[in-house]
Structure 1
Amino acid sequence: MTDAAEQKMQFLFAIRSKGVTDTRVLHAMEQIDRGVFVRGHFAPRAYEDVPLPIACGQTISQPSIVAIMTQALNVQPRDKVLEIGTGSGYQAAILSRLARRVYTVERHKRLAVEAQKRFDELGLTNVTVLTTDGSHGLPEQAPFDRILVTAAAEDPPGPLLAQLRVGGIMILPVGQSDHVQRLIKVTRTENGLDYDELRQVRFVPLVEGLGQE
């Protein structure tokens, strides 16, 4: 077995060991090469189960957390998904293997442009990247079957909750940026919103407005 093949096998084992059992999610994690999304100085660490720095002061999330969030989102093949915080594009690429259509928004234009290049490179034609303020969601495309937020807000943002279809699920970290946050699952029912706390996490804060680059 080559070093690369062994690395990828260990990568998938690390994800399974964190409780990710959904075969569709595991298959998507296997199909999308994290190495495409980690370039430069940190490229040798692409298959480690750790978050890594990317441009604009952001991070590419720990693979097991990406998998846990994706599993909790329970994406179905006909779903339209909104992701807030494109970052490297890795999470959106995973979602693209599970959903009909993925809209991902990023406040830093540089990250959005680089993510689009990676999606093109991988032939992912069902992902739309937009540079906009993610705290407002994407009302022109609402409602969404699933919403995933990859930055922490103190409370689930009202505009995002309003864009979730009845029967829809939103996964997001909630809490102050300099403290441990809680990963929350919000389900919209006919009668309102149900909240479930999943685990402790740590994410960059959800910031309003557009980035400087």
Structure 2
Amino acid sequence: MEFAALREEMVDSLEHDTKAVVRARPTARAMRDVPRHEFVDAGRRAYTDQSLEHRGTRVLAPSTVGRLVDALAPEEGDDVLVVGAGVGYTVAVLAEIVGAAHVHAVDIDRRVVYDARSNLADAGYGDVLVDCRDGARGLPEYTPFDRVLVEAAAVDPPAALLDQLVEGGRLVYPEGTTDQRLVAVEDGEVVSVHGPVMFAPLLVDGEQASAVERNRTVREDRERAAQEAESRRGWEHDWIDWDRA
């Protein structure tokens, strides 16, 4: 009962306080039903509007989840793909709206995938499919999707994800690098903008936290550092040489 009351307070604040970030009724209903404490080991803090850390990745604050789901605008029965499973909370909110069997999630980090599967099963969303994949390639075996949500930033939406949408389907992602905005795309065009955001970039294989360090990456870092040092001119170059001496 304590957690249920905390969920009510959390969603009330997201709907009506100065934030007012959750506007769609399906989003609010789903967030009132999903037990966030099953996804983050934080006790009462699970229902405060703050982000948390998990295996080197950021667990989104409830207000951010609400904004993402509102922008995606899913409807009951929609087939949804989530790129970036995380701890599974956003996935569970979507499952409440469209049905667990209609939600598919991928993450490039295998440890995160295992955690998301476990969390979703414990919270009653075991029918959600979570797989370890390069998110930019999507999940072609289960296409087409009515909605695709990308929880990582990119300059442009990956072409494979656009190809996996039904005609008129919607893809939501953080657009940009340092200056990001949350956008919704339909038929290849931005149809709505949902304010500024700050997300980590979409990873490729080898960049995930669980990846084995590659010698090539170490060598590249060393070469780039040397090139940068050689490109310096004037007093800065002289000072660096003097300091090393």
Q: TM-score, normalised by structure 1?
A: 0.89
User: Aligned in 2, Cα 1:194/1:52: closer, same or farther, shift over 3 Å?
Assistant: same
Give 3-state SS (helix, strand or coil) of 1:111's partner.
helix
Q: Check conservation: 2:35, 2:123, Cα contact below 8 A.
A: no
Q: State the superposition RMSD in angstroms.
A: 1.8
Q: Percent identity?
A: 34
Q: What displacement does 1:97 show?
A: 0.8
What residue identity is the alignment partner of 1:28? Answer: A
Q: What displacement does 1:14 show?
A: 2.1
Q: Which residue of 2 aligns with 1:193?
A: 189
Q: What displacement does 1:159 show?
A: 1.0
- The answer to whether 1:86 aligns with 2:82 is no
1:32 to 18, 34, 39: 34
Give 3-state SS (helix, strand or coil) of 1:98's partner.
helix
Structure 1 residue ranges without an equivalent (≥5): none
2:108 and 2:205 map into 1 onto residues whose CA distance is 7
Q: What displacement does 1:163 show?
A: 1.0
Which structure 2 residues correspond to residues 14-93 of structure 1 after superposition, within 5 A?
A: 14-17=13-16, 18-39=20-41, 42-55=42-55, 57-93=56-92
Q: What displacement does 1:69 show?
A: 1.3
1:203 to 199, 204, 207: 199
Q: Check conservation: 1:96, 1:126, Cα contact below 8 A.
A: no
Q: Which residue of 1 aligns with 2:141?
A: 140
Q: What displacement does 1:74 show?
A: 1.4
Count of residue correspondences: 204
Q: What displacement does 1:160 show?
A: 0.8
2:198 and 2:133 map into 1 onto residues whose CA distance is 23
1:66 and 1:59 map into 2 onto residues whose CA distance is 12
Q: Which residue of 2 aligns with 1:114?
A: 115
Q: Which residue of 2 aligns with 1:96?
A: 95
User: Aligned in 2, Cα 1:12/1:162: closer, same or farther, shift over 3 Å?
Assistant: same
Structure 1, 114-123 or 84-93: larger mean CA deviation: 114-123
User: Aligned in 2, Cα 1:9/1:77: closer, same or farther, shift over 3 Å?
Assistant: closer
Q: Which runs of 4+ in 1 moved over 6 A?
A: none
Bigger fraction of residues in helix: 2
2:63 and 2:176 map into 1 onto residues whose CA distance is 20
Q: Which residue of 2 aligns with 1:149?
A: 150
Give 3-state SS (helix, strand or coil) of 2:166's partner.
strand
What residue identity is the alignment partner of 1:45? Answer: R
1:45-65: CA deviation from partner (whole Å, max 9, x where unpaired): 21111111111x111111111
Q: What displacement does 1:149 show?
A: 0.5
Bigger fraction of residues in strand: 1
Structure 2 residue ranges without an equivalent (≥5): 212-245
Give 3-state SS (helix, strand or coil) of 2:98's partner.
coil
Structure 1, 85-94 or 136-145: larger mean CA deviation: 136-145
Q: What displacement does 1:28 show?
A: 0.5
- Which of the two has higher C-alpha Rg? 2
Q: What displacement does 1:5 show?
A: 5.0
